[in-house]
Amino acid sequence: MIRDTGIGSKLWRFAIWAVVVLFVLNLIGVIAAVVVDSLATRWLGTWLPAGWTTRWYFQAWREFQLTPVLIVTFEIVFTVVVISGLVGVTSAYALARRDFPGKRLIILIFLLPLLVPPLTYGIPMATLLYQAGVGGRFWGVVLANLVPAIPFVILVMIPFIEQIDPRIEQAARVFGASTTSVFIRILMPLLLPGMLAALLLVLVRTLAMFELTFLTAGPTSQTLVVSLYYAVFASGVRAAQSIDAMAVVYMITTLVWLVLALQFVNPTQIVARAKQQAPQ
């Protein structure tokens, strides 16, 4: 590490850390404002509310019917995780192990849904799903959410599978293991950490996926984040604290899984995915 000790570079360092601290303070302020307001009896123009209460949570739970919303949310999210896990891991295995003509094209097809923002392709996709009769229903939301989820699993899993020595599988075959038992007894245990990371990240991303769910969900297939959007959109109808209580519920459901996912991955990987492979 190289340190410059001049006054200019000290000032520069100070300025950089000041920007970081300011940003983090504002970020914490934004999140804390939601949490504090959800626990406030009345909060008008003071630094902290006049009193504390938890009743908004009970009220929000009733007003926004959070029990059915949460059930639907987790049904949708877990269906997406299971399907994208099954499809994604098998595709990633083929892409990691074989070189075949057209492989680059296939990888491009998988990259596109992650690079194109959901609203750009979501509108024609939602139109099609409505024409097919699944729009506004459970399966419409699941299908829409599979579009970014499957490529995400594939791109996270490819480097994971590549680093497993294919000779391990060959050795198992030499000793007479069938394809099924190679898969269950050799590959699965080796892939488990990677799969857990990929699937937890898909879970978090699907929980927080607003655009695609918003475009395809009907009244009975809304996930929590879409309900939250409608609540904030119609703010003034309900107490602000009640909406913020719902926001805290959403925050907790998402963060629990994020904390779990961070046991397996570095935060940088959530954004940068597997592009930065250290050279072997």
Alpha helices in 163-239 (DSSP H): 166-174, 179-181, 188-208, 211-216, 224-233
Is residue 81 a contact point for another protein (CB under 8 A)? no
Nearest distance from C-beta of residue 28 to another protein, angstroms: 8
Please say which residue, 45 or 176, places its beta carbon nearer to another protein: 45
Could you tell me how many residues of this chain bind another protein (CB under 8 A)? 96
Q: What is the DSSP letter of 234?
A: T
Please say which residue, 29 or 68, places its beta carbon nearer to another protein: 29
Within 168-207, the residues that bind another protein by CB under 8 A are 204-205
Is residue 244 a contact point for another protein (CB under 8 A)? yes
The whole-angstrom separation of Cα 216 and Cα 145 is 10
Tokens 């959901």 sit on residue? 118
Please say which residue, 29 or 193, places its beta carbon nearer to another protein: 29
Instruction: Candidates 59-67, 71-79, 150-158, 192-200: pick the segment binding another protein (CB under 8 A).
Output: 150-158
Among 11, 16, 168, 184, contact with another protein (rule: CB under 8 A): 16
DSSP notation for 3-28:
---SHHHHHHHHHHHHHHHHHHHHHH
The per-type count for the chain, helices as H runs and strands as E runs, is 13, 0
Residue 121: which residues within 8 A CB-CB, separation 6 or more? 113, 147
Closest CA to 31 of 188, 231, 252: 252
Is residue 87 a contact point for another protein (CB under 8 A)? yes
Phi, psi of 216 (to 5 degrees): -110, -10
Task: Spell out, one character per residue from 96 to 135, where the chain touches another protein: x when CB under 8 A holds, - when not.
Answer: -xxxxx----x--xx-xx-xxxxxxxxxxxxxx-------
Please say which residue, 74 or 106, places its beta carbon nearer to another protein: 106
Nearest distance from C-beta of residue 201 to another protein, angstroms: 9
Is residue 250 a contact point for another protein (CB under 8 A)? yes
Q: What is the DSSP letter of 52?
A: B
Is residue 4 a contact point for another protein (CB under 8 A)? yes
Among 41, 65, 163, 235, contact with another protein (rule: CB under 8 A): 235
Task: Give me 102's structure tokens.
Answer: 């057209």
Closest CA to 191 of 149, 163, 152, 232: 163
Please say which residue, 128 or 171, places its beta carbon nearer to another protein: 128
Is residue 146 a contact point for another protein (CB under 8 A)? yes
Nearest distance from C-beta of residue 124 to another protein, angstroms: 3
Closest CA to 253 of 72, 85, 104: 72
Nearest distance from C-beta of residue 165 to another protein, angstroms: 16
Is residue 150 a contact point for another protein (CB under 8 A)? yes
Paired residues of 40 in beta bridges: 52
